[in-house]
Chains A and B, each alone.
Chain A
């Protein structure tokens, strides 16, 4: 079983799509890399840490992007961001069955912070434009660096997020919080705390992630196919936003006083909440059925 967590972005993408179907746009040989890194004496990558292209999933045409966490933590720079925005806008022309985003990103790349921040904003606008055009956008999150910063926001603009337990999703990373607010606020070395706050299981129980899968490329592929088969036209109506608004209000009301994820899981009525992190995914899903927020 091939681990999604350990694989490179390229391996994930090739393993996720139908075999032999992936065609890369602006591949490494095009050498579209960051001019800014070079200027700061920092090594650049031929694909600027993101692979974009088209392929088939379950026989249906899709556009897909994969961020490489091993290169600068998957952080978004000018070129990296423009490749993702361009791909999303391509969906407006090609009308694929879906756009798949294999995210792994610490957020904005500091070496080109302004370009990165604006790029994330453009990605966000583009995601919403694609969805408004009736094309679903699905996020897969199971890489080593998690998904933080602007990409954490962007991910939640999409139709669904599928995570593994090892995946993380948030806005400020634990190290950032520890640095700014102190170790008492968030001890980033307490990895159990980090994962039960930001990891796949909590996101799934909270309703931030639509699905949770074991750490295997094949499991992510199956989940993506599942999403594709059940896909409906994205609903961005006022009614849908109001429903989401109530859901988020409800979350604040129910869990706003909770100090820890375990408190939240307990208030969800889950038995032995402290034991959840140890459960394998099928057992976890069974144990928490009908208990998700």
Chain B
């Protein structure tokens, strides 16, 4: 007769091996190595919680310190590679296969390890795809997660950075895997239960609180007058015209400038209450002035942001907070909101080609995707309508005879040249060469041109929705590509024609006086201004202070 509970019995064997190390669910930090040795088996699929911000750093160190003779050929399935230990496990021969989403800080080293044959990559996913695979064919056997606090029963309080924890634990626990949590503190009663104790097998108090990266703090002092100009164009030429109310912003200085112009420039245009009311967004400190000015009605977040805790607690009408007052931020749900519920995504990129494909890939680095491709893609499964979505859909289909439907606004916002005179517009993305060097199936395109609705540069806005045909689209892109080789190679007459038709719009076409584009227009020019705007509730990390 076929055995239907091999995973359960295997789980029981692992737990039995670990039993001597624990009374109840609590394991001492000193026994963490022994615990992992007891529960891990070669070839296991392991999820080591690596988020954008919160890191299971203690468990990462312990895992990376294991003896590869005992534990080897692990298959790591985790969304972010942030810490050196996330790659040490491959270098030491503890793990050999990897499925992931984003590897920003470790991208260069990852490329080297791959080239050296020290790991194989299953696939590079977006967050939602990887989470989806947790529930299909990449379910973790062992999950190593991080939380703020636990009680003796194993109930976890994640703290405001909930991030991936619920998804990882749910996938692991309900497929008879083992969940181990590192926590900053053991308490009698957790402030709220983010993960029920019944889903957690072991908790370890880590010697140091887990590391959190302040990833979404942009110092307004570094916003340039060019970025102010571009933000003015976005507000007047896109947000106002499409009445954008449900949106997601990227994390760059360009979009921070938009956030900081809402209480000043957008207010002057009479747009309060008309745009930017609902956000899928990490709690950006740069959004504080807009919240205080009454622009923002709700913000749901992928994760929290260091220093924003007290401010969030004091603004429960805006943020999603628990009965304890702190934020809950579930990345999977916010990604779903970003993809399906938002009418607009706007973000920056490194390179855009002539069809509007954009990529942040650079040679020698395998950085992955994170969530941007899901945010920055038309949700073709969407059915509910909104004025923004309908208008974009009309513009894209008008006169084409296609079945009417709506479309998401996907805006790419770039200066034509980056630092060191690197052009943002190119004939061919570096992604092609990277794909070839790294043996990828496809070039790592972040946002496909067919999804892009607008490109904004300091030279103007190109509305790709209105373009008819490849030729027109190419000239529209060249027409805002400034003095880059791509821009200089424009057909001047075609571009002027596009301008006459409103497909390309310069600042002056939008009624924007460039001389007005100064930093004085920013609602906050320093991090301290943000603290002031928050009424002293925002407590920025020390690296962002100059007081």
Interface residues of A (CB under 8 A from B): 3, 5-6, 165-166, 189-195, 199, 201, 277-278
Contacts and interface: CB of A to CB of B under 8 A. Distances in A.
A192 B531 contact: no
B547 interface: yes
Contact of B531 (A6, A195, A278): A278
14 contacts: A3-B525, A6-B525, A165-B547, A189-B543, A191-B544, A191-B545, A192-B542, A192-B547, A193-B542, A194-B546, A199-B546, A277-B547, A278-B536, A278-B547
B227 to A, nearest CB: 15
Interface string B509-522: 00000000001000
Contacts of A195: 545-547
A278 B221 CA distance: 18
A282 B531 CA distance: 17
Given A6-B525, A278-B531, A278-B536, A190 B542 contact: yes
Contacts of B543: 189-191
A278 to B, nearest CB: 7
A6 B518 CA distance: 12
Contact of B545 (A3, A5, A192): A192
Contacts of B531: 278
Nearest to B532: A280
A196 B302 CA distance: 34
A191 B519 contact: no
A199 B542 contact: no
Interface residues of B, number: 12
A199 B221 CA distance: 18
Interface in B493-547: 519, 525-526, 531, 536, 542-547
Interface in B192-231: 221
Contacts of A192: 542, 545, 547
A199 B546 CA distance: 8
Contacts of B221: 6
Contact of A199 (B519, B536, B547): B547
Nearest to A193: B542
Which residue among B519, B525, B536, B542 has the maximum number of chain A CB atoms within 10 Å of its CB? B542
Given A191-B543, A192-B542, A199-B547, 7 more contacts: A3-B525, A6-B525, A190-B543, A191-B545, A193-B542, A195-B547, A201-B547
Interface of B: 221, 519, 525-526, 531, 536, 542-547
A6 B219 CA distance: 14
A285 B108 CA distance: 50
Nearest to A168: B546
B542 A6 contact: no
Contact of A191 (B525, B536, B542): B542
B521 to A, nearest CB: 13
B264 to A, nearest CB: 14
A166 B542 contact: no
A201 to B, nearest CB: 7
A79 B392 CA distance: 60
A277 B545 CA distance: 10
In the A-B complex, the 7 residue pairs with the smallest Cβ-Cβ separation, listed nearest first, are A192-B542, A192-B545, A277-B547, A191-B545, A190-B542, A195-B547, A195-B546
Contact of A166 (B536, B544, B546): B546
Nearest to A194: B546
B547 to A, nearest CB: 5
Nearest to B547: A277
A8 to B, nearest CB: 13
A70 B519 CA distance: 17
Contacts of B544: 191
Nearest to A278: B536
A261 to B, nearest CB: 12
Contacts of B526: 5
Contacts of A5: 526
B113 to A, nearest CB: 28
A158 B546 CA distance: 25
A166 B546 CA distance: 6
Contacts of A201: 547
Nearest to A167: B546
Contacts of B542: 190-193
Contacts of A193: 542
B501 to A, nearest CB: 40
Given A6-B519, A192-B542, A278-B531, A166 B525 contact: no
A277 B543 CA distance: 14
Nearest to B539: A278
Nearest to B520: A2
A288 B162 CA distance: 42
Contacts of B546: 166, 191, 194-195, 199
A151 to B, nearest CB: 19
Nearest to A190: B542
B530 to A, nearest CB: 13
Contacts of A165: 547
A6 B222 CA distance: 11
A166 B547 contact: yes
Nearest to B519: A6
A201 B546 CA distance: 11
A277 B547 CA distance: 6
Contacts of B536: 278
Nearest to B542: A192
A29 B542 CA distance: 43
Contacts of B545: 191-192, 195, 277
A108 B546 CA distance: 24
A193 B543 CA distance: 9
